[in-house]
Amino acid sequence: MNYLEALSKRYSVKKFNSEIIPQETLQNILQSGKLAASSLGLQPYKILVVESEEMKKKLIPAFYNPSQVSTCSHLIVIISKRSINENYINGYFNHISEVRNVTVESLDPFKNNIHHHINEKNDEEIFNWAEKQSYIVLANLMYAAAIENIDTCPMEGFRQDVIEEILNIDPEAEKVTVTLALGYRSGEDSFQHMKKVRKPDDKLFKFI
């Protein structure tokens, strides 16, 4: 499918038909989240994939509108880090060193650069920065799903404390930023017939 066709066909599904996405398709979509760009490559997030019916059921009370969670195939939960410590940065550099087969020392200029960027931010700024990275993952997942003919609904409409308690998230260290329900649209979901509402080009784009 052409990417503009896929994106035009995509809409935020309110009700899925409860069919389960094949594993291979799910894996392809998840890899697109893995391949998301992130500032300094630090990937300051974690991606939970809720596949068990039991956990999906448990999560229903966390959502203001439960119709997506109760009918989706999978629910992806993107969790942002609230801080970046020395251990995390060291882990990142050990990983680069392994993957690219270079010494950790040869990466010192990049490491100093990262320390500089991280140290000049306070915890709130680090957290705001981390959350922005999470939305890039969200966009990649939604885009890949559309290409794979899988429907989605991005959702921020959840009770923060409830979802974090159910998922056993330490709110001091992490935050559930956004979730993405995946599945197949239900024939009963009237939203699929609605025209897209977007700003006209001349209000959205400015060529300079």
Q: Retrieve residue 104's tokens.
A: 């950790």
Report the nearest approach of ligand FMN to the CB of residue 11 (Å).
4
Q: Which residue is nearest to ligand FMN (CB)?
A: 157
Q: Is 208 exposed, middle or buried (0-12, 13-18, 19+ CB in 10 A)?
A: exposed
- C-alpha to C-alpha distances, 181 to 44, 49, 166, 177, nearest whole angstrom: 21, 10, 17, 14
Non-local CB neighbours of 6 within 8 Å, separated by 6+ positions = 143, 146, 147, 149
Find the shortest distance in angstroms from Cβ 65 to ligand FMN. Answer: 6
Q: Which of 42, 178, 180, 182 binds ligand FMN (CB under 6 A)?
A: 178
Closer to ligand FMN at the Cβ: 118 or 177?
177
Q: Does 12 bind ligand FMN (CB under 6 A)?
A: yes
- With CA atoms as reference, report the closest residue to 123 among 169, 89, 172: 172
Q: Taking the alpha carbons of 11, 12, 15, 18 in that order, is the dihedral positive or negative?
A: positive
Is 154 a residue that touches ligand FMN (CB under 6 A)? yes
Q: Do the Cβ atoms of 152 and 143 come closer than 8 Å?
A: no
Which parts of 65-104 interact with ligand FMN (CB under 6 A)? 65
Q: Binding to ligand FMN by residue 41, rule CB under 6 A?
A: no
| Binding range to ligand FMN, per CB under 6 A, among 7-15, 36-44, 84-92, 166-174 | 7-15
Q: Are 47 and 188 in contact (CB under 8 A)?
A: no
Sheet containing 45-50, strands listed edge to edge, beginning at the edge strand earlier in sequence = 45-50, 74-81, 174-183, 151-155
Q: Which stretch binds ligand FMN (CB under 6 A): 54-62, 86-94, 111-119, 151-159?
A: 151-159
Segment contacting ligand FMN by CB under 6 A, of 71-79, 89-97, 148-156, 180-188: 148-156
Under the criterion CB under 6 A, does residue 155 sit at the interface with ligand FMN?
A: yes
Residues 99-138 as x/- pattern, contact with ligand FMN by CB under 6 A: ----------------------------------------
